[in-house]
Amino acid sequence: MIQFKSAVLEKRLVAVQAMKAAPAESTLNSGTLSARDSMKAAGEMMNEMQRERTGGVNYENESRYQVTLHRVAPADAPDWTGEVIGLPLLFALKTVDVLVAGKTVHAFNKKNQKLWEGKLSFPVADNVMAGYGGDRAICPCLEEAGSLYVSIRAC
């Protein structure tokens, strides 16, 4: 069994441009809209609504956190304490524990020894973070046949 504790050391949210700029010439302003262009026009309308709602910007959590992993069993395992960038989430699997924070993933054995650290292209999906620790939690990690798979974009 593992206990997981995290504390914010420095809060930092970074704005990231999440959408392409609106087209210079809109299909909607062409004067004549054909059935052939209807899907393109619908896409433009959806994108425009999203731009109005969010400004076309997403915010990524690049805050600094201090994380402590403490083992209840085995009792002789030393605590691991370290700093991560981004909201830390811990997923206990069969043979490893996976700490995901922002755009990094850390794997630990069951004695709190760090096995490896890897970089992700994107942070874990919002729906993974939103459900974390609840009844509808989504685990972005799968351990199978000696391999670990991490999916940053959960369904």
Helix (H), strand (E) at residue 66? strand 64-71
User: Beta strands 64-71 and 104-108: pairing type?
Assistant: unpaired
| Residue extents of the structural domains in the chain | 2-11+60-150, 19-55
pLDDT digits (tens, 9 = 90+) for 65-82: 999 999 987 778 899 999
| pLDDT at 130 (0 to 100) | 61
Over 80: is that where the pLDDT of 83 sits? Answer: yes
| pTM of this structure | 0.70
Gap between the Cα atoms of 61 and 103, Å rounded = 10
Gap between the Cα atoms of 102 and 84, Å rounded = 8
| pLDDT at 155 (0 to 100) | 46
State how far the alpha carbon of 40 is from the alpha carbons of 26, 27, 50, in Å. Answer: 10, 7, 15
pLDDT digits (tens, 9 = 90+) for 16-31: 777 777 777 777 777 7
